[in-house]
Amino acid sequence: MRRFGQCVVAAADVFDQRDEDGIAVLLNPDPPAEQAADVRHAAVVCPALAIHIEE
């Protein structure tokens, strides 16, 4: 069983999830440094491995 929306839970200021299909969307492509740990965590818990971080 996959757990969708984990990135939203991990970094709600950076990601959201569409109600109609559950697809995660990027809200902020350049989040502030203080959110870096949350975004890294979101990438780790993403079940689709769809989040890639560029430093």
pLDDT digits (tens, 9 = 90+) for 23-37: 889 999 999 999 999
pTM of the model: 0.81
Q: Helices then strands (H, E): number in the chain?
A: 2, 2
CA quadruple 28, 34, 38, 44: dihedral, nearest 10: 90
Check residue 23 and give left, alpha or beta (phi > 0: left; psi -120 to 50: alpha). beta
Check residue 13 and give left, alpha or beta (phi > 0: left; psi -120 to 50: alpha). alpha
Supply the pLDDT for residue 49.
86
Supply the pLDDT for residue 29.
94
Supply the pLDDT for residue 48.
84
Residues of the chain with pLDDT under 70: 1-4
> What Cα–Cα distance (Å) separates residue 2 from each residue in 6, 41, 47, 48, 49?
10, 17, 6, 9, 12
